Amino acid sequence: MLRELLTSDGGELIDLSIGLEDGVASEPEPPSIGHFDHEAGAERLAENLRAMGHDVDAEDFSDGMGLAWEDLEVIPHAGTHMDAPWHYGPEVDGGPAKTIDEVPLEWCAGDAVVLDFREKEPGYEITAADVEDALADLDHDLSPGEIVLIQTGADELWGTPEYLTQFPGMGAEATKYLVERGIKVIGTDAYGFDKPFTAMGERYAETGDEGELWPAHFAGREVEYCQIEKMANFDALPRKTGIPIVAFPVKIEDASGGWVRPVAIVEDEASGETGTEHGGADR
């Protein structure tokens, strides 16, 4: 089916990701990106060649220009990324937890279902009953291998500090409800999968209940799943169910997560025209 959509005149690719941005206010640990233009690239390439014993100067390159590149200092949880089971704990239900390079590719492609929680208040914890209600609104029964997307609308705040705090988050029971029905990948358009750090901290301070701290993440110690955080552009999707998407993470050896660029592959039901990217800000 994916091949047919990609080669048909009515196929549209919708980018559901946020990229890596230097010093952005929406990241507590923002990427640092150093850019080297073509002139600087010529200098660096010439240095490399001279280190190998070759007499080469930057001026020897055509027009004095070499190759542009970037130096990055960034954690694998910046930008749109997938958390592996290892992120949540060393074991899942008594067995070893998978690192990101061990996540089966089969988990990372399938039909998506969008559950809309944009009416929930920031800091709200989404329950299993909320998930059931959202599925009932769609008149949809989950099937194993589907990818569930949690829509909060927080992606509209990307680039601002408010992005870190203004969204509802998943609870442990809601997470287990999905995974127990065969869901292996759950995505969100918010900064985090759980409710915001501030909400968790306030509730823990009030109650002393450790269950207030990252309950959805730590559900991954009981049930095996991956989550994709910092997705975007769900409002650009033409429907809420049966959306083919691919979301393969970058392989980082023994890592707790890896960057991913989820893409929906759908027919343009409105016009039948082909697109390449759609919706939201230019990311």
Tell me the three-class secondary structure of the chain, residue by residue.
Answer: CHHHHHHCCCEEEEECCCCCCCCCCCCCCCCEEEEECHHHHHHHHHHHHHHCCCCCCHHHCHHHCCCCEEEEECCCCCCCEEECHHHHCCEECCEECCCHHHCCHHHHEEEEEEEECCCCCCCCEECHHHHHHHHHHHCCCCCCCCEEEEECCHHHHCCCHHHHCCCCEECHHHHHHHHCCCCCEEEECCCCCCCCHHHHHHHHHHHCCHHHCCHHHHHHHCCCCEEEECCCCHHHCCCCCCEEEECCECCCCCCCEEEECCEEEEECCCCCCCECCCCCCCC
* Closest to 257 in 3D by CA, of 101, 149, 147: 101
- Give me the pLDDT at residue 28, please: 93
pLDDT at 249 over 80: yes
- Tokens (6 digits) for 133: 């209600």
pLDDT at 97 over 60: yes
**265 beta partners:** 13
Q: Give the pLDDT confidence of 153-170 residue by residue, as tens digits.
A: 999 999 999 999 999 999
- Give me the pLDDT at residue 281, please: 40
What's the CA gap between 12 and 245, in Å, rounded?
11
Domain boundaries, the chain: 2-20+76-267, 32-73
Q: Give mean pLDDT, residues 4-27.
A: 85
pLDDT at 274 over 80: no
Task: Rounding to the nearest 10 degrees, give the CA dihedral for residues 50, 54, 56, 62.
Answer: -120
**Least confident segment among 10-19, 68-77, 131-140, 245-254:** 10-19
Q: Give mean pLDDT, residues 217-243.
A: 97
- Give me the pLDDT at residue 4, please: 64
Cβ partners under 8 Å of residue 13, min gap 6 = 263, 264, 265, 275, 276, 277, 278
- Give me the pLDDT at residue 283, please: 40
**Tokens 């089971």 found at:** 85
- Give me the pLDDT at residue 11, please: 77
pLDDT at 272 over 50: no
What's the CA gap between 194 and 260, in Å, rounded?
19
Quick one: angle between helices 128-138 and 172-179, nearest 10? 50
**Least confident segment among 25-29, 73-77, 151-155, 278-282:** 278-282
pTM summary value: 0.89
- Give me the pLDDT at residue 267, please: 80
Positive or negative CA dihedral for 3, 239, 145, 13?
positive
pLDDT band at 6 (very low <50, low <70, confident <90, very high): low
pLDDT at 216 over 70: yes
Topology classification of domain 2-20+76-267: Glucose Oxidase; domain 1 (3.50.30)
- Give me the pLDDT at residue 5, please: 57
Proportion of the chain above pLDDT 90, given as a percent: 88
Output the average pLDDT for the chain.
92
* Amino acid at site 156: E
Distance of CA 206 to the CA centre of its chain: 31
Q: Give the pLDDT confidence of 54-77 residue by residue, as tens digits.
A: 999 999 999 999 999 999 999 999
Residue pair 209/173 in contact by the 8 Å Cβ criterion: no
**Tokens 């010439």 found at:** 46
